[in-house]
């Protein structure tokens, strides 16, 4: 896999961001992370990535700081990245609320 050398922080709320990390070269490796600032620290709320294979996509939920086993799907990188970004944009409030209940 290629190193993730590009990043893009998109603010969704004063204390919530969507961070997209990706490689510039092929094969594309990515991580799209919903991040929340709480008590002066950044916390991962949800992580979408393809760290185990170019067309193997994971969605990790968190229970507090504990990373839970992923939901795994397969398919083209661009489709998975677009789906992950769309899911975060549509549901970030609910994702953060569920995560906060586990802290």
Is-contact 32 20, C-beta < 8 A?
yes
96 has a pLDDT exceeding 80: yes
Which residue in 43, 25, 1, 22 sits closest to 85, CA to CA? 22
With pLDDT > 90 as the criterion, what percentage of the chain qualifies? 85
What mean pLDDT is predicted for residues 8-19?
98
- pTM score: 0.93
User: How are beta strands 71-74 and 66-67 bridged, if at all?
Assistant: unpaired
Domain extent listing, the chain: 6-100
CA torsion through residues 99, 100, 101, 103, sign: positive
pLDDT digit string, tens, across residues 34-66: 999 999 999 999 999 999 999 999 999 999 999
User: How are beta strands 30-38 and 66-67 bridged, if at all?
Assistant: unpaired
* Residue corresponding to tokens 């170019």: 54
């Amino acid at each position: 896999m290629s190193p993730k050398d590009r990043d893009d922080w998109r603010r969704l709320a004063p204390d919530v961001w969507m961070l997209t990390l990706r490689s510039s070269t092929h094969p594309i490796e990515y991580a799209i992370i919903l991040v929340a600032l709480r008590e002066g620290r950044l916390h991962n709320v949800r992580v979408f990535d393809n760290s185990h294979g170019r067309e193997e996509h994971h969605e990790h939920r968190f229970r507090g700081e504990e990373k839970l086993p992923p939901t795994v799907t397969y398919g083209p990188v661009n489709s998975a990245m677009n789906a992950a970004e769309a899911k975060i944009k549509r549901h970030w409030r609910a994702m953060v609320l569920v995560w906060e209940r586990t802290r």
